[in-house]
Amino acid sequence: MSRVVVTGLGVLAPNGNGTDDYWSNTLAGKSGIAPISLYDASRYPCTLAGEVPGFDAEVRVPGKLRAQTDHMTHLALAATEAALADAQADPAAFGEYEMGVVTANSSGGTVFGQRELEKLWSKGPEHVGAYMAVAWFYAATTGQISIRHKMRGPCGVLVAEQAGGLDAIGHAVRQVRREGLRLIVTGGTDASLSPAGLTAQLTTGLLSHRSDPHRAYLPFDRAAAGYVPGQGGAVLLLEDYGSAVKRGAPRLYGEIAGYAAGFDPGSRHVLPRVIVKALTAAGAGPDDVDVVFADALGDFAADRQEARALRELFGPRGVPVTAPKTMTGRLYAGGGPLDVASALLAIRDQVIPPTVNVADPVPGDELDLVLGEPRPAPVRTALVVARGFGGFCTAIVVRALP
C-alpha cells in the first residue's frame, strides 16, 4: 500500500494567522479565546469564541470569489494557498485529474446564509442573491477549491461535526491510494460565529456559558462546563510519497499512517475500538504512541469516557495527553485537521504543545496531561482523536517518516 505523506500545511486558527504564528503562540500557551467581536453577543448565553485574528478576506480572496462565498470558504481558500506555497506545489504542474479535494464541513455557510435569509424575510425573495444557491452548502468549500485550482480528480465533503475533519483526511488518503492521485487538498475550516450559527447549537447544552476566557473551556478539569466555539482550521496537502520525493517536495512532515471511524450515540464502547483499529491500520501498538491529541470535549460525562478509553489502552498515565484546542476553542470540521497539523509540528520540533487553563484535573482519570508548558519529548508517532456531536468517533495515527 502506498505511503501518503503531508507536504504542506495551511493554518488559520484563533491563536494564529498562519502556521508559524499558530505554532509559536501554541507553544507559548497563548489563547485566542476572547469575547465575540463579530456581532453583539451580549444578549446571548454564549459570549466567548475563538476568532481568527487579523484575517482580511479582502486581501486574501479575489473579489468575485469573495462575494460568492461564505467566510468559512474564505478561510479555506486562503489556507489552501498557504499549504500549496508551503509545499512549493504549483497545481499547473500536475495533471488536472491527478489532483482531488476532500474537505470537511460542519455548520455550512451560516454568516452568508443568515444575511441572505434576513433579506428574504425583511425585503422578499427577489432580494436574495443568486449565490445563496451554493455558498452555504457543506460542499461549497471543496467545490470552490476544485474550481480555483482546476483539481478535477475525485472531490467530496465529509460532514460529521468535530469528527469530520479527520474523516476527510482519512478519505483523502483512501482516494490517493484508490485513484492513484498524486496530490489531494484536505482538512477543513468552519466559521459558524453568527447569531444563527451559534443559536442553532444551544440545544446541545455543550456550549460554555462562562464569560471568563480562562475558565470557560476546561476539559478533564473538575470545573469543566462545556466548550467555547471557534472559527478556522487547517488545510493539509497530501501527496503520494513516491511522487512527492520525485518532484522534490521541500518538506515531508510525516505520513498519515492509520485511520479508523465508528459511530455510537452512546459513544462508550466505540472510542477504544476506533483507536485500536487506527493503530492496527498503522501497524502500531499502544506502546508506539508518543502523544495523544485528545478530543477533550469539556463535558463531564464525555471527558470521563475519553479518559477511561485512554487509561484502558495505554495504562494509567501511560502516554502524554494534550489538548491545544483549549487555546482555540473547538473548531468543528477544522478541529481535527488543526490537531493533525499540530501533531506533525510536534514531530518536527520534538515537543508536545500544552493544554492551558486546566488546573484541577479529575484525579480518577489518571491522565498524563501536558499542562501549562510545552514538554520536550521524542515524538515519532501521534494519535489524534475526534468525536462529533451525535456519536461520530474517529482516530488518526500520524507518524514520522523513517
Partner 1 sequence: MSTFTLENLKEIMQSCADQDSNPVDLSRNFLDVPFKELDFDSLAVLEIATRVQQEIGVRISDDAVAEMTTPQAVLDYVNRESVA
Question: Interface residues with partner 1 (CB under 8 A)?
Answer: 62-65, 68, 126-131, 133-134
Q: Which is nearer to partner 1, 120 or 359 (CB)?
A: 120
CA–CA distance, 108 with 110 (Å, rounded to integer): 6
State which amino acid sits at residue 70: D
Taking the complex as a whole, the smallest distance from the CB of residue 134 to partner 1 amounts, in Å, to: 7
Taking the complex as a whole, the smallest distance from the CB of residue 97 to partner 1 amounts, in Å, to: 21
Q: Which is nearer to partner 1, 60 or 348 (CB)?
A: 60
Q: Which is nearer to partner 1, 141 or 357 (CB)?
A: 141
Taking the complex as a whole, the smallest distance from the CB of residue 9 to partner 1 amounts, in Å, to: 25
Taking the complex as a whole, the smallest distance from the CB of residue 71 to partner 1 amounts, in Å, to: 18
Taking the complex as a whole, the smallest distance from the CB of residue 91 to partner 1 amounts, in Å, to: 15
Q: Which is nearer to partner 1, 126 or 402 (CB)?
A: 126
CA–CA distance, 384 with 234 (Å, rounded to integer): 14
CB atoms within 10 A of CB 58: 9
Cell of 47: 459570549
Taking the complex as a whole, the smallest distance from the CB of residue 224 to partner 1 amounts, in Å, to: 45
Taking the complex as a whole, the smallest distance from the CB of residue 127 to partner 1 amounts, in Å, to: 6
Taking the complex as a whole, the smallest distance from the CB of residue 128 to partner 1 amounts, in Å, to: 7
The maximal CA–CA distance of the chain, rounded, in angstroms, is 62
Q: Which is nearer to partner 1, 121 or 126 (CB)?
A: 126
Query: CA–CA distance from 334 to each of 91, 205, 275, 340, 401 (Å)?
Result: 23, 21, 20, 10, 25
CA–CA distance, 382 with 172 (Å, rounded to integer): 19
Q: Which is nearer to partner 1, 129 or 315 (CB)?
A: 129
Taking the complex as a whole, the smallest distance from the CB of residue 53 to partner 1 amounts, in Å, to: 24
Taking the complex as a whole, the smallest distance from the CB of residue 63 to partner 1 amounts, in Å, to: 5
Q: Which is nearer to partner 1, 132 or 401 (CB)?
A: 132
Taking the complex as a whole, the smallest distance from the CB of residue 130 to partner 1 amounts, in Å, to: 4
Q: Which is nearer to partner 1, 117 or 362 (CB)?
A: 117
Q: Which is nearer to partner 1, 92 or 130 (CB)?
A: 130
Please write down the HEC assignment for all residues of the chain.
CCCEEEEEEEEEECCEECHHHHHHHHHCCCCCEEECCCCCCCCCCCCEEECCCCCCHHHHCCHHHHHHCCHHHHHHHHHHHHHHHHCCCCHHHCCHHHEEEEEECCCCCHHHHHHHHHHHHHHCHHHCCCCHHHHCCCCHHHHHHHHHHCCCCCEEEECECECHHHHHHHHHHHHHHHHCCCEEEEEEEECCCCHHHHHCCHHHCCECCCCCCCCCCCCCECCCCCECEECEEEEEEEEEHHHHHHHCCCCCCEEEEEEEEEECCCCCCHHHHHHHHHHHHCCCCHHHCCEEECCCCCCHHHHHHHHHHHHHHHCCCCCEEECHHHHCCECHHHHHHHHHHHHHHHHHHCEECCECCCCCECHHHCCEECECCCEECCCCEEEEEEEECCCEEEEEEEECCC
Say if residues 47 and 211 touch (Cβ distance below 8 Å): yes
Q: Which is nearer to partner 1, 125 or 266 (CB)?
A: 125
Q: Which is nearer to partner 1, 58 or 363 (CB)?
A: 58
